[in-house]
C-alpha cells in the first residue's frame, strides 16, 4: 500500500495511527500541503479532491477521506478492532470520533487558516485566537461526552479505538497552537494512555520522513 499524506495533517495522522495499530506496512508518500503540492497536476491526477490522506491499495484502488479509510482498514484487517463489536458501542465511538473529525477539525484545518490570513486579511494573533477558541470549545464538549461513559483507559474501553485515532492528532495540533488543555481530565488521560503505545509514537509527526521541524 501507499499512503499519500503530510506529516502535520491531522487526518493523515489518524490513518498512520490506524495502520500502525494494525501492524500494516505501507510506502510513505509525502504531499507537502504548506507548499501547495496537493494542488499540482501530479497529485490532482491521483486525488480527485486534492486532499490528504489518500490510500492506494496493492491493486491500485485509491481511497480518500481518513474516516472512510480507517473503517475500510478495520473491516479488511479486523484485528485489533478499532470499533466495538456491539452496535451501541460502535455508535458511541463513532460519535466521539466525529465530534473531532466533523466538529473541531473542519474549522481549523490548514486551508481554513490560510483563507483567514490571505483572503480575509486576519492577522496571526486573531487567527490563533480563532483556532484556540474552536479547539477548546470542541474539546470541552468531548470531555462532557466522556464523563457520560463508563470509566476507561482510552476514550472508550481499555483498547484504542477510532475515537483515539482522532483525539491524538487533535491534541498534537492544539498543543502546537498553545491551546489550553487544562480541566480535561478524561480527555488528557486517554491521550496519555495512547502516547504510551508504540503505534502512536511511530505515527506522530516527528517520526515522519517529511518532518521539517
Domain boundaries, the chain: 2-80, 87-200
Q: What is the mean pLDDT of residues 64-74?
A: 98
CA-to-CA separations, 56 to 7, 26, 184, in angstroms, rounded: 17, 9, 37
Q: What is the mean pLDDT of residues 129-146?
A: 97
The angle formed by the CA atoms of residues 143, 147 and 151, to the nearest 5 degrees, is 120
Per-position DSSP letters for 44-100, written without gaps between them:
HTT-TT--S-EEE-TTS-EEESHHHHHHHHHHHS-SS-SS-SSHHHHHHHHHHHHII
- 2-80 and 87-200 have identical folds: no
What φ, ψ does residue 8 adopt, rounded to 5°?
Answer: -95, -5
Per DSSP (E only), the strands in the chain are 2-5, 27-30, 54-56, 62-64
> What does the alpha-carbon distance between residue 163 and residue 30 come to, in Å, rounded to a whole number?
25
Q: What is the mean pLDDT of residues 11-26?
A: 98
Contact predicate 19/57, CB 8 Å: no
Return the CATH class of domain 87-200: mainly alpha
What pLDDT digit, counting tens, does each position of 145-182 carry? 999 999 999 999 999 999 999 999 999 999 999 999 99
CA-to-CA separations, 194 to 12, 32, 79, 121, 184, in angstroms, rounded: 17, 26, 17, 38, 15
Residue with the bigger pLDDT between 129 and 42: it is 129
- 2-80 to CATH, choices 3.40.190.10, 3.40.30.10, 3.40.50.200, 3.20.20.540: 3.40.30.10
pLDDT at 212 over 80: no
Contact predicate 66/101, CB 8 Å: yes
Contact predicate 6/52, CB 8 Å: yes
> What does the alpha-carbon distance between residue 32 and residue 25 come to, in Å, rounded to a whole number?
21
Amino acid at each position: 500500500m501507499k499512503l499519500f499524506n503530510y506529516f502535520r495533517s491531522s487526518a493523515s495522522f489518524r490513518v498512520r495511527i490506524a495502520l500502525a495499530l494494525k501492524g500494516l506496512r505501507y510506502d510513505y508518500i509525502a504531499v507537502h500541503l504548506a507548499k501547495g503540492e496537493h494542488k499540482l497536476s501530479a497529485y490532482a491526477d491521483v486525488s480527485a479532491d486534492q486532499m490528504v490522506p489518500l490510500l492506494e491499495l496493492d491493486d491500485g484502488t485509491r481511497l480518500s477521506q481518513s474516516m472512510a479509510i480507517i473503517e475500510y482498514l478495520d473491516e479488511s484487517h479486523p484485528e485489533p478492532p478499532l470499533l466495538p463489536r456491539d452496535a451501541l458501542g460502535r455508535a458511541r465511538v463513532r460519535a466521539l470520533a466525529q465530534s473531532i473529525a466533523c466538529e473541531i477539525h473542519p474549522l481549523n484545518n490548514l486551508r481554513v487558516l490560510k483563507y483567514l490570513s490571505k483572503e480575509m486579511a486576519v492577522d496571526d494573533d486573531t487567527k490563533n485566537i480563532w483556532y484556540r477558541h474552536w479547539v477548546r470549545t470542541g474539546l470541552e464538549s468531548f470531555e462532557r461526552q466522556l464523563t457520560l461513559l463508563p470509566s476507561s483507559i482510552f476514550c472508550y474501553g481499555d483498547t484504542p479505538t477510532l475515537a483515539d485515532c482522532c483525539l491524538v492528532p487533535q491534541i498534537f495540533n492544539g498543543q502546537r497552537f498553545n491551546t489550553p488543555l487544562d480541566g480535561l481530565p478524561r480527555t488528557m488521560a486517554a491521550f496519555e494512555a495512547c502516547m504510551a503505545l508504540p503505534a502512536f509514537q511511530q505515527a506522530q509527526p516527528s517520526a515522519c520522513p517529511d518532518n521539517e521541524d
